[in-house]
Structure formats: C-alpha cells, structure tokens
Amino acid sequence: EAGVTQFPSHSVIEKGQTVTLRCDPISGHDNLYWYRRVMGKEIKFLLHFVKESKQDESGMPNNRFLAERTGGTYSTLKVQPAELEDSGVYFCASSRDREETQYFGPGTRLLVL
Amino acid sequence: DQQVKQNSPSLSVQEGRISILNCDYTNSMFDYFLWYKKYPAEGPTFLISISSIKDKNEDGRFTVFLNKSAKHLSLHIVPSQPGDSAVYFCAAITSGSRLTFGEGTQLTVNP
C-alpha cells in the first residue's frame, strides 16, 4: 500500500508569488489533514477534510491560504500571495476514520524569499 | 497558547540505556495521546499511543505512561539503539480529531 505522497518536496519562491502544494492520501482514506511546522517549532494543524468537505479549517492562518479537495481524492493547498512568514514545512496526513491513526507524508519544504 | 509542551529540546543517551522523553499538557479535554518519530527530510511516523482511560501502554521496547492528575506523559525506550536517534513529537487529540503537537525532542543515542 502506497503511503501519503506530497509534491513538490521543496519549493523556493519570492514574496508575492503563488505556490500550490499537492497531497495524495493513502487510497481509501476519507480523512485528509494539512499541518505546518514553522522554524523548528511545533507542528500546527491547518485544516481537515472528510472526503471533499472541509470539516475543520480553524487552523488556517489567513485568507491567503486556500485548500481544496475536489472529488475527495487528492488535495491542494495554495498560498497566494506568499509572505516571508509562510516559510516552513507543510505536512499532509490521512486516515481511514477520524478515530484512526493519521499517516503523514514527507512534507513540502517551502522557502519564501 | 501551547497546550502540549515538550520542555527538553534534546536528549542524549548511551546505546543500551533507557531513554525517557517527557511531555506535559494543559487541556483536560484531550482523550488520546500519541508519540510520533521523525527522521530528517521525512514526515512524522506513528510510534505508540495511549487512551486517557489507561495509564500505561507497551509495545516492544517502547512504553508510554500517562499521569492524568499531573497532565504528564512520558515515553520510555529500553534498550535504546542508535537507530532510535530522531525527533520525537508528543501529540494529543480530542474527539475533533485534530492533532495538537509539542515542539519535539531530539533524541541522540550514542554507540
């Protein structure tokens, strides 16, 4: 069974540009989560999808961040326009049920210059 | 307001000895606790968990202890091996299913 995959693995962009991160969850996992780790701090929750619906987006920092999961399969997280403080590692995780273990992808390392 | 805290950013132990990683939390609504292990350039990997109705869970070399009255949990690794060197994250969860993480502890096991 393939794990959670994320693309790209690294992204370096300039302030004001747009970046789109992609996450492919484990097949059959209805629950998809986005998390972010900034400057070696704790990993923070961003949002949670159940299939294509946003279950909880209370962790999204501001309206420059837009997450979608059309069709309930892969998800994208767009940052537009990117700011310096958006730099960090963005993790995606998935689980079959809400009560089950969340499996994480390798992360996308975003650097905004 | 950080609800899960790992006060030790790093820990160094000798191979074969016990590693004890600590975690404190403030939210009494947390009902499930997990430990994740993370190697560089990889995502966190689930290690072991414990429900709030238990005080101990053991899986091979790994044991997690929960002290609800003190809002404290710990991860014991015995015997420690060089391959255990990684960042260990404590995480907590409520019925809402979002994970709340601590800042992580870098464990180094010296041969």
pLDDT digits (tens, 9 = 90+) for B47-91: 999 999 999 999 999 999 999 999 999 999 999 999 999 999 999
- A41 and B103 in contact by Cβ < 8 A? yes
**Among B2, B46, B102, whose Cβ lies nearest the Cβ of A101?**
B46
**Contacts with A41 from chain B: Cβ below 8 Å:** 103
- In angstroms, the separation between the Cα of residue B1 and the nearest Cα of chain A is 12
- In angstroms, the separation between the Cα of residue A14 and the nearest Cα of chain B is 22
Residue A1 pLDDT > 70: no
Residue A98 pLDDT > 80: no
- A43 and B101 in contact by Cβ < 8 A? yes
The structure tokens 């947390």 sit at B30
Which helix (H) or strand (E) element contains residue A110? strand A108-112
- B99 and A4 in contact by Cβ < 8 A? no
State how far the Cα of B39 lies from the Cα of B72, in Å rounded to an integer: 25
**Contacts with B49 from chain A: Cβ below 8 Å:** 101
Mean pLDDT, chain B, whole residue set: 94
> What is the band of A70 on the pLDDT scale with cuts at 50, 70, 90?
confident
The structure tokens 């909880």 sit at A56
- Count contacts between A and B (CB, < 8 Å): 55
- B97 and A41 in contact by Cβ < 8 A? no
Q: Under 8 Å CB-to-CB from A45, ≥6 apart: which residues?
A: A33, A34, A35, A58, A59, B98, B99, B100
> What is the band of A72 on the pLDDT scale with cuts at 50, 70, 90?
confident
Q: Which of A33, A36, A43, A100 to mutate to test the interface with B (most CBs of B within 10 A)?
A: A43
